[in-house]
Amino acid sequence: MSKGLVIVVTGANGGVGFGICHRLLVQLSSPNPPDAQPYFKLEVPGTTYANVAGDSRIVDEYTFDADAGVTIIMACRDLKRAEDARARLYGLLDKHISKLRTGSEEERYARKFRKNVRLELERLDLSSVRSVLDFGRAVTQKYEYLSHLIFNAGTATYSHLDVLGFAWDLIRFPIHACQHPRRNIQVNGVLSKDNLGYTWQCNVFGHYVLYRSVQPLLIAYAEKVGSSARVLWMSSLDAEPEFDPSDDWQLTKTMHSYQASKFQVELIAAELERRTLEAQETGRASNMSELVAPHGEIHHLVVSPGVTATNMSSLLNIPIPGWRWLMLTAFFLVRLIGSTHILMSLYAAAVSAVHLALVPLRAVPTVRNSPRLSPADVEYPFWHSYHGKTASRVQLLRFGSENDRWGNERPGVVAVPVWEEHPSAGEVLLERFERLYAAFEMAEATRGIGKAGNGQAA
């Protein structure tokens, strides 16, 4: 049985998802991938992610093998664009290998690895629960396990960019204007074909359904290969608690559904990881144990690509010729004056996701082994603007792509604060997600017999 990694990347045909696939291929073509080397200095030596229930068969690192190669499942809505992206990725890998010194150990390894690379295409439309469940069934039939889920795909209901307002912000607060844009105007009330909040379903709930539908394959990886599976949830520098959790958890009323959806990503991932650690420490998950692996074999991590130019900006309908070049120029200048979060290539923006995908878990900072890392150490615009006070408690760490002013990329980390007004929001949301998922799954099992409902009653 092959022990190669089998990685699902959503939205892999473009943007940061494409960058993640590209970086994974380049890194794994090396016998010692640079991104797999420990980067962070842990503040409490000796504290690590625990092995699964003390099971010595489960480890937190990967053995890279050219013969095993890698399988990347490119989960995309448009298969034609995915086919084009796959061809480009193979070409980029071949170009990278051609630059290695002929006859070197690195080149021999890379060429052997290249023969065992598999880029597979699967259709996935996150705005349709049926499509997500179909994806889960298709993958289950084709693969005996999955090692990673990288939840990259996302969208927003932008209507336009307030060009004059953004220009004024850029003059007054250039770094803040680029890292936390407030002039990307969104519309609310947009629903999916399932009658759910569109942005919420595409960015959060659709990925949750995907996780639940392939969860047995992640557990199978831990059991058969002996290494913890990982789920990487893509957040954003702009994640903010811009919603009312009591009556707008599907984000149809807020005018900031994109920011709110990314904050929900953090809430859900934090709650799932909390239950994973509980299962590790006790040997069982005490509440809703079906949501995590029996002994904590699946870890949930939150990443951000920083700020980079993607096709998503086309949704802003900017009526200025050459606006993309103007945007790139602004990004470059803002990086030069000190922003660490502006990345000029998709490959660089993928550094945080690929590092977390490949590095040993024992080298990954956590709230427990980095106790001095607090929200007070970083700028949280929403905290001061909307709450008027300083955060004091941490719910999880978000790993983000950063670089210096000369473009040398690196992974970074910031603390994500507890939402003091709603400290149990993650738990409440997770229970609602699970009830809604179960309703759709039941409806799908009895196709045509009733409907799953619009989700609001859950």
Residue 320 resides in a domain: yes
Residue 237's pLDDT is what?
92
The arithmetic mean of pLDDT across residues 2-7, rounded, is 82
What pTM did the predictor assign? 0.91
Q: What is the pLDDT of residue 286?
A: 59
Q: Is residue 455 part of a domain?
A: no
CB 352 within 8 Å of CB 365: no
Give me the pLDDT at residue 448, please.
Answer: 52
* 356 has a pLDDT exceeding 90: yes
User: What does the block give as tokens for 343?
Assistant: 């990345």
Q: Could you tell me if residue 201 is inside a domain? A: yes
Higher per-residue confidence, 110 vs 286: 110
Average pLDDT, integer, range 58-78: 88
- List 59's β-bridge partners, or say none: 227
pLDDT tens digits, residue range 419-428?
989 999 999 9
Average pLDDT over residues 71-79: 97
- Residue 448 is assigned to a structural domain of this protein: no
pLDDT at 166 over 90: no
Residue 33's pLDDT is what? 96
**Least confident window among 53-67, 136-150, 426-440:** 53-67
The predicted pLDDT at position 187 comes to 94
pLDDT for 331 equals 85
pLDDT at 375: 58
Contact at 8 Å (CB) between 266 and 232?
Answer: no
What residues make up the domain containing 392? 5-418
Q: What is the mean pLDDT of residues 249-278?
A: 95
What is the 8-class DSSP label of residue 34? G
Percent of the chain residues past pLDDT 70, beyond the cut: 85
Among 17-31, 310-324, 371-385, name the most confident range. Answer: 17-31
The total number of structural domains that make up the chain: 1
Indicate the range of 155-164, 311-320, 326-335 predicted with least confidence. 311-320
Tell me if residue 340 falls in helix, strand or coil: coil
When pLDDT is averaged across residues 179-189 and rounded to a whole number, the result is 90
Asked if the model's pLDDT at residue 230 lies above 80, the reply is yes
d(Cα 380, Cα 389) in Å, to the nearest integer?
A: 11
Instruction: Provide, rounded to the nearest whole percent, the portion of the chain with pLDDT above 90.
Output: 64
The answer to whether residue 178 scores a pLDDT higher than 90 is no
Q: Which CATH number belongs to the domain containing residue 133 in this structure?
A: 3.40.50.720
Residue 427 lies in a domain: no
pLDDT higher for 330 or 234? 234
Is residue 368 scored above 80 in pLDDT? no
Instruction: Please provide the average confidence, as pLDDT, over all residues in the chain.
Output: 87
Beta strand pairing call for 409-417 and 117-123: unpaired
Q: Between 184 and 49, name the one with better pLDDT.
A: 184
Q: Residue 144: pLDDT above 80? A: yes
Average pLDDT over residues 327-356: 92
Residue 347 has pLDDT above 60, yes or no: yes
Question: Does 44 score more than 80 pLDDT?
Answer: no
Question: What secondary structure, in 3-state letters, does 145-167 show?
Answer: CCCEEEECCCCCCEEEECHHHHH
Q: What is the mean pLDDT of residues 37-65?
A: 65
Band (293; pLDDT cuts 50, 70, 90): confident
Residue 52 vs residue 441, higher pLDDT: 441
- Residue 315: predicted pLDDT: 65
In order of 78, 83, 168, 333, 417, the CA distances from 340 in angstroms are 33, 34, 22, 12, 21
Residue 358 lies in a domain: yes
Which pLDDT band holds residue 408 (cuts at 50, 70, 90)? very high
Is residue 244 domain-resident? yes
User: Would you state the pLDDT for residue 387?
Assistant: 44
Q: What is the CA radius of gyration of the chain?
A: 21
Query: Residue 190: how many CB atoms within 10 A of its CB?
Result: 15
Pick 395 or 447 by higher pLDDT: 395
Q: What per-residue confidence (pLDDT) applies to 316?
A: 66
Could you tell me if residue 445 is inside a domain? Answer: no
Cβ neighbors of 49 (< 8 A, separation 6 or more) are 60, 228, 280, 299, 361, 362, 364, 366
Label residue 162 by pLDDT band (50, 70, 90): confident
Residue range 313-332: mean pLDDT, rounded? 75
- Where helices occur in 72-184 by DSSP H, the ranges are 79-98, 105-115, 129-142, 163-172, 174-179
Please check the confidence at residue 311 and state whether its pLDDT lies above 90.
no
| Predicted local distance difference test score (pLDDT) of residue 458 | 42
The token pair at 391 is 């955060």
For residue 271, what pLDDT is reported? 95
Q: At residue 43, does pLDDT exceed 50?
A: yes
